């Protein structure tokens, strides 16, 4: 019960609360004094950890911490739809902009958590680091931490954050955390390491306040859920998730070619089929990006070896492959061609680099942009609920009714099980749970 709620109660009720809670020394006190006495007692009696959820998204950290009995006292996210989902699922209305949070007026809390924006550091972004204003949002976390000095901070970002700008970004983060009086330990994790069939490598930053730090490294709890793709997929999903006719035609075309390659043939790097049939002059070729020139050069042995197969194949399917530039580019990431090989044995994504084909053991990394994985076996996109399962959200989690919104939210989210493993291991190590 808050002090505001207590102030609205009559004095006689406040005294009854004192008796019920065995609070001594209330006799003869006025209403204001009783409110203060009760508030102080309840604060001492409340041993649950309190946390703020920054860049909260749809609440991956919230899921983990609340399951451990911690109380969320503030959330913040600039995405309107995420705020709506957060309120729908947790009853908390997030602050829309972290810059609007006044650290001098906040109640005390024990933990800051947050997956600060990763677009500045990820492969999917431009890796502009702190030149991108989103990269500077890390400083907003530090601003709040400097004033409130919570016991712990749990932060998350993409694995590339360790190498961006030749390590300068990580050094900056490490120095800031150290200067604020915290010891930093990092964990490189992915759901697939814990028996969840999604490869999603992330870095978790565990920051422990100097006066709490016990000089020992935290060891993550060793748990493997042993889930397979079959445990994630829905039975008989809505036909709207089936791939379009255009995509089906493109995949069928590539599948026809793949079946003609010898077992053991290596198909990497990306096959740039359109480029193979362009007669570049030396000037035009040298004007191409370095990576494109490299791919064209490295494709030549394969194209020469299978020329009698590829020439008629390309002529047959050129119109289909030309509907979008990416349709003529195959990024094969499943290793050498196997016996009875098929593109439909794997997961597929339509990416800027082309048709990316990955081993079916793990689902591809969910991303916030429209690259929803295709489950080749069923010739359909994975559903929003399947995305939620890959991010370890419970079945009770209420999804946004608009699919593209949920796809984006799940692509931006942390994996709940990974977060829970980090936080539970830390709080157990320091005997807070």
Coil, strand, or helix at residue 91?
coil
Eight-state DSSP code of residue 399 = P
Positions annotated as catalytic residues are 118
**Stretch 341-365: mean pLDDT:** 91
**What CA–CA distance (Å, rounded) separates 200 from 122?**
12
Q: What is the H or E stretch that residue 74 is in?
A: strand 71-76
Contact 369, 124 (CB under 8 A): yes
**Stretch 242-251: mean pLDDT:** 96
The pLDDT value given to residue 4: 60
Quote the CATH superfamily of domain 50-227+415-429: Vaccinia Virus protein VP39 (3.40.50.150)
**What CA–CA distance (Å, rounded) separates 35 from 322?**
74
Percent of the chain with pLDDT over 70: 93
How many residues appear in the chain?
A: 433
**What CA–CA distance (Å, rounded) separates 218 from 207?**
11
What pTM was computed for the model? 0.81
Q: Do strands 329-333 and 354-358 pair parallel, antiparallel, or not at all (unpaired)?
A: parallel
Where exactly are the structural domains of the chain? 3-45, 50-227+415-429, 235-382
Among 24-33, 141-150, 245-254, 336-345, the minimum mean pLDDT is found in 24-33
Tokens, residue 46: 């409340």
**What CA–CA distance (Å, rounded) separates 230 from 212?**
43
How many Å from the N-terminal Cα to the C-terminal Cα in the chain?
24
Torsions phi, psi of 324, nearest 5? -140, 145
Contact 65, 373 (CB under 8 A): no
Q: Across 232-383, where does the E strand assignment appear? A: 271-272, 329-333, 347-351, 354-358, 374-375, 380-381
| Burial classification of residue 339, based on how many CB atoms lie within 10 Å of its CB (0-12 exposed, 13-18 middle, 19 or more buried) | exposed
Q: Across 303-384, where does the E strand assignment appear? A: 329-333, 347-351, 354-358, 374-375, 380-381
The pLDDT value given to residue 135: 47
**What CA–CA distance (Å, rounded) separates 429 from 215?**
11
Eight-state DSSP code of residue 260 = T
Per-residue pLDDT band for 124 (boundaries 50, 70, 90) equals very low
Torsions phi, psi of 186, nearest 5? -110, 150
**Stretch 128-150: mean pLDDT:** 79
The pLDDT value given to residue 38: 85
Q: What is the H or E stretch that residue 383 is in?
A: none
Model confidence pLDDT, tens digit, residues 328-351: 999 999 999 999 999 999 999 998
* pLDDT above 60 for 123: no
Model confidence pLDDT, tens digit, residues 71-113: 999 999 999 999 999 999 999 999 999 999 999 999 999 999 9
């Amino acid at each position: 019960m808050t002090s505001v709620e207590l102030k609205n109660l009559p004095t006689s009720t406040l005294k009854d609360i004192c008796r019920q809670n065995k609070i001594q020394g209330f006799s003869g006190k006025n209403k204001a004094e009783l409110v203060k006495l009760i508030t102080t007692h309840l604060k001492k009696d409340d041993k649950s950890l309190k946390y703020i959820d920054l860049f909260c998204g749809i609440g991956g950290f919230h899921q983990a911490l609340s399951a451990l009995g911690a109380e969320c006292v503030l959330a913040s996210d600039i995405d309107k739809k995420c705020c709506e989902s957060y309120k729908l699922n947790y009853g908390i209305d997030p602050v829309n902009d972290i810059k609007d949070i006044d650290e001098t007026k906040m109640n005390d809390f024990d933990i800051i958590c947050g997956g600060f924006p990763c677009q500045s550091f990820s492969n999917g972004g431009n890796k502009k680091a702190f030149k991108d204003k989103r990269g500077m949002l890390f400083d907003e976390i530090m601003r709040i931490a400097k004033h409130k000095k919570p016991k712990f901070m749990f932060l998350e970002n993409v694995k590339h954050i360790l190498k961006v700008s030749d390590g300068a970004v990580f050094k900056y983060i490490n120095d800031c955390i150290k200067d604020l009086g915290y010891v930093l330990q990092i964990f490189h994790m992915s759901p697939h390491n814990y028996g969840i069939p999604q490869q999603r490598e992330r870095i978790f930053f565990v920051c422990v306040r100097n006066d709490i730090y016990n000089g020992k490294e935290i060891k993550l709890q060793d748990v493997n859920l042993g889930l397979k793709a079959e445990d994630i997929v829905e039975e008989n999903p809505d036909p709207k998730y089936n791939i379009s006719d255009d995509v089906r035609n493109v995949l069928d075309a590539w599948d026809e070619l793949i079946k003609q390659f010898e077992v053991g043939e290596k198909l990497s790097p990306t096959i740039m089929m359109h480029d193979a049939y362009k007669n570049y002059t030396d000037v035009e070729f040298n004007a191409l990006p370095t990576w494109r020139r490299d791919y064209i050069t490295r494709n030549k042995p394969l194209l020469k070896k299978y020329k009698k197969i590829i020439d008629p194949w390309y002529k047959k399917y050129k119109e289909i492959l030309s509907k979008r530039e990416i349709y003529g580019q195959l990024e094969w990431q499943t290793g050498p061609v196997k016996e009875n090989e098929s593109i439909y044995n794997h997961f597929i994504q339509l990416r800027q680099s082309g048709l990316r084909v990955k081993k079916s053991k793990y689902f591809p990394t969910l991303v916030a942009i429209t690259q929803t994985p295709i489950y080749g076996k069923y010739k359909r996109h994975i559903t929003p609920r399947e995305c939620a399962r890959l991010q370890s959200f419970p079945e009770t989690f209420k999804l946004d009714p608009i699919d593209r919104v949920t796809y984006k939210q799940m692509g931006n989210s942390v994996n709940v099980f990974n977060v829970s493993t980090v936080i539970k291991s830390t709080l157990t190590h320091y005997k807070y749970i």
